Structure 1
Amino acid sequence: MWLCALATGAGALPILFIRQISHRQMDVLLAYTAGIMVAASTYGLIPASLKLTNLWVLCCGVLAGALLLNIIEKVLPHVDLKHDSGKVLVPHESLMMVSAMTIHNIPEGLSVGASFGSGDDSLGLVVALSIGLQNAPEGFLVALFLFHQGVRKGVAILIATITGMIEVVASFIGYHIVGVALFLVPYGLAFAGGAMLFIVYKELIPETHGHGYERSATFAFLIGLLSMIAVVEMFR
């Protein structure tokens, strides 16, 4: 469970080796990671939820995840930490990104803990591996997005790691209340899928289509989506 969650922080480490990034490179990287997130939602979280429940619960969960992110976007304040007043700017979009990743890690953690607590070790291992594989690019995305918004690299990695640590807490909760957690898993998976899809379409795709590199970003998105599907298929 620890390795699954720490994959988020590990995925953020490559940001240390990025000194300067052009608009084209940023658009390609964001689009690639957006493709991974869409695949994780539509090929992983949503089908898993649908297998455990019905279409009504799935729809309610996905829409609830998107609705919560919409509310967060409206109520989150702009935190003015700008350097010319002795502070640093943490933009509204960055707060929303961190909130989205933190929220969607909670049901994922519950799923991992409940899977191990069910007594089927092979199930727990498969669930943990699947979620860990998607956590690494998600950690990179959070760190990259924060870095792009002017946040220091060390702080960006720390924040990305913290979003993953939420998953550890949720995993222990899911393990110890496996009966309740297993009941909540399909709802949580659908909720997580809706939150991820909202952040991809609302923030990431517009961000990759504002600098004239739409074609490169589009192909990067498709490659990211196919990469995630290929990884999931390899470990099934």
Structure 2
Amino acid sequence: MISSIIFYSLLSGITVFLGGLFSLFFEKNFKKGFLKDEIVHFFIAFGTGIMLSAISFVLVPQGLEKTSVLLAITLFLFGGIIFYLIDGYIQSKAGNIAQIMAMLLDFIPESIALGALFAYDYKIGIILALFIGLQNFPEAFNSYLELRKSRFSIKKTLLILFLLSFVGVIFSLLGYYLLSSNQNITSALMLFASGGILYLIFQDIAPSLRYKNNRLIAIGVNIGFIVGIFSKTFSI
């Protein structure tokens, strides 16, 4: 069991580094201009679709299994409020690492839930790991670009993303050891994370999708969600 948690959490986390590498390739091979900006915005939209599918297919359904409707609503709203407060702090203090901090804001609670899920629903744990990995890739892609704009060197930027790839392993193991015996707390955590992630989507991510009146970019959300549907379907 421990080896599976390490393997899948590492698999979901390594996409942070891979997203950075792809962004490096993108940076070197695409000149600044209309096409480059469109691709960046499309990746943001795609990541949004993946995040929505994670909420829709794993976090909320699994969270509701062991939680009453009233408590679920309270936890979901509480997650949104807490993420609102943390997001405000990040925006005012984090400066040039705001994107990375926002990525960790959903990566950490999802990883904790991942470790706990493996103890009693192996298949759902794998699905969540897949969603986390798909979600991290576009977020890391944008984090790399943000750090480079803030004058971080390529080497330093990739080192930061490489180290962050292992955050999921640490928190997944923490979730397994602390929460695997209590499904109620795990369900509460997933509902809390869902509320927070939904807040981040519509506060920080969705407003940035619109680009020079190009409505086509938003289709990336649909494509990301479709990937989530396939991921869920093939895992059943």
User: Would you say same fold, with TM above 0.5?
Assistant: yes
Unpaired runs of 5+ residues, structure 1, are 81-89
Which amino acid is the alignment partner of residue 65 of structure 1?
G
What is the SS of the residue equivalent to 1:18? helix
Give the Cα separation in 1 of the matches to 2:127 and 2:158: 22
Give the Cα separation in 1 of the matches to 2:183 and 2:112: 8
Which amino acid is the alignment partner of residue 107 of structure 2?
N
Instruction: Indicate which of 141, 145, 154 corresponds to 1:144.
Output: 141
Aligned pair in 2 of structure 1 residues 114, 221: CA closer, same or farther (>3 Å)? closer
Which amino acid is the alignment partner of residue 111 of structure 2?
G
Give the Cα separation in 1 of the matches to 2:224 and 2:83: 23
Which amino acid is the alignment partner of residue 142 of structure 2?
F
Give the Cα separation in 1 of the matches to 2:175 and 2:119: 8
Aligned pair in 2 of structure 1 residues 72, 174: CA closer, same or farther (>3 Å)? closer
1:212 paired residue number: 213
Q: Which sits farther off after the overlay, 217-226 or 8-17?
A: 8-17
* Pairing 1:63–2:60 present: no
* Pairing 1:171–2:172 present: yes
Q: Which sits farther off after the overlay, 219-228 or 178-187?
A: 178-187
Distance apart, 1:227 and its partner CA: 1.4
Give the Cα separation in 2 of the matches to 1:212 and 1:184: 44
If the length of structure 2 is used for normalisation, what is the TM-score?
A: 0.79
Give the Cα separation in 1 of the matches to 2:159 and 2:127: 23
Give the Cα separation in 1 of the matches to 2:183 and 2:158: 32
1:17 paired residue number: 25
2:201 paired residue number: 200
1:86 paired residue number: none
Aligned pair in 2 of structure 1 residues 173, 18: CA closer, same or farther (>3 Å)? same
Unpaired runs of 5+ residues, structure 2, are none
Instruction: Kindly tell me the number of residue pairs found equivalent between the two proteins.
Output: 217
Distance apart, 1:178 and its partner CA: 4.2
Which amino acid is the alignment partner of residue 220 of structure 2?
A
Give the Cα separation in 2 of the matches to 1:195 and 1:142: 16
Aligned pair in 2 of structure 1 residues 146, 48: CA closer, same or farther (>3 Å)? same
Measured on the aligned residues, the alpha-carbon RMSD in Å equals 2.5
Distance apart, 1:78 and its partner CA: 4.3
2:43 paired residue number: 29
Distance apart, 1:170 and its partner CA: 2.6
